[in-house]
Amino acid sequence: MTVFVIAALLIAVLALGVALRPLWRDNRSIGFAMTTSVAIVAGLLYLLVGTPRALDPAQRRAPETLADAVTQLETELKRDPNQPEGWRLLARAQAAQGRPQQARDAYAEAVKLAPDEPDLLAEAAEARALANTDHRFDEAAIAMLNHALERQPMHQRARWFLGIAQRQAQQPAEAAKTWEPLLAVVEPKTVESLRAQINVARGEAGMKPLPPVAAASASQALLRVTIDIAPELKSTLKPTDVLFVLARQPNGPPMPIAAKRLPVAAFPVTVELSDNDGPMPTMKLSQAGTVEILARISRKGIANRAAGDLESAPVAAQPKPGAQYSTRVDHVVE
């Protein structure tokens, strides 16, 4: 019976994907919701029929469609509303069904219960924008994004959405400032499109565009950092892991002055940092004085520090031509 239920739900999800395919092309958020539908179904099944309460005959009926699962989850949340992940699953399911207002409201309930979760805050802010006819981020959504960045300053989605909100509010200079740090941490294939958006915002603000990457490539290396890894951690590396090498101000803001993102390869590896590697045009490595250099291996491939990542201890350094330092990735982030 369980296999049949799962199969039926997956078929419903696939059918929903076909129906919403045109919207997917035009709206990346709906597309994201569609790609997570299988996870939604799995979560709904667990909440509805995978808990000890399912031994109760009254709780034994499994959902036969995604809509049925949503209805049962709504009933479950009425019985016990103190389930942030339940509200989050409901919100995602509502979004996948093309019901943005209901998704917004479900996310609002989740945020009440988990107000400091950056991923949730970014999702809830996006849902508020999608629920508005003009897709604008309102004051509540902007407050969520700012709080997400207070908790995790380099949260990519929150920073991207906040920049959009700033452009909507006719604040292009602020939008460019919000987006520029992302250049050091996004996927390489995203850099050019992000630079284009930043330059549009800078143009609207009467600012000069960012210098072309090719023109800046001759900048002299100011830090040459050799990174090694402890043997007991080396055996845990995966092909999807990503190495970030960062230079930042001691006791300063978490945004790096210079950063490089590299696929994990053989260790030891040597990385050079220069003024070209600064995510913010107004802050150059050559102007920084003493910095801390740090190596982090991200399990998720993102710049945000997360539990389970591998990291080195910060090393004090003086950026200058010929400066060489070494660091060792030797502990797991708790």
Report the share of the chain in percent with pLDDT over 90.
48
Mean pLDDT across 148-176: 94
Listed as own residue / partner, the contacts of 30-33 with beta carbons closer than 8 Å and 24 or more positions apart are 30/95, 30/96, 30/98, 30/130, 33/92, 33/95, 33/96
Weakest-pLDDT range from 27-31, 73-77, 162-166: 27-31
According to DSSP, the β-strands at 310-312 and 291-298 are antiparallel
Residue 117: its pLDDT value, please? 94
DSSP alpha helix (H) spans, the chain: 2-26, 28-35, 37-49, 66-79, 84-96, 100-113, 118-131, 139-151, 156-168, 172-179, 188-204, 213-216, 231-234
**Interval 280-308: pLDDT, tens:** 666 788 888 889 999 999 988 887 888 89
| Measured distance CA(69)–CA(276) in Å, rounded | 51
Q: Could you name the CATH architecture of 217-332?
A: Sandwich (2.60)
Q: What are the boundaries of each domain within the chain?
A: 2-204, 217-332
Weakest-pLDDT range from 16-20, 161-165, 231-235, 260-264: 16-20
Mean pLDDT across 28-49: 45
CATH code for 2-204?
A: 1.25.40.10
Residue 23: its pLDDT value, please? 38
Weakest-pLDDT range from 44-53, 85-94, 107-116, 230-239: 44-53
**Interval 58-86: pLDDT, tens:** 444 566 677 888 888 889 999 999 999 99
pTM score, two decimals? 0.59
Residue 245: its pLDDT value, please? 93
Listed as own residue / partner, the contacts of 209-215 with beta carbons closer than 8 Å and 24 or more positions apart are 210/180, 210/281, 211/281, 213/276
Mean pLDDT score of the chain: 80
| Measured distance CA(104)–CA(132) in Å, rounded | 10
Q: Taking 90 as the threshold, does the pLDDT of residue 88 lie above it?
A: yes
Residue 66: its pLDDT value, please? 73
* Residue of higher predicted confidence among 115 and 69: 115
**Interval 210-240: pLDDT, tens:** 877 644 444 688 999 999 999 999 889 988 8
Residue 2: its pLDDT value, please? 36
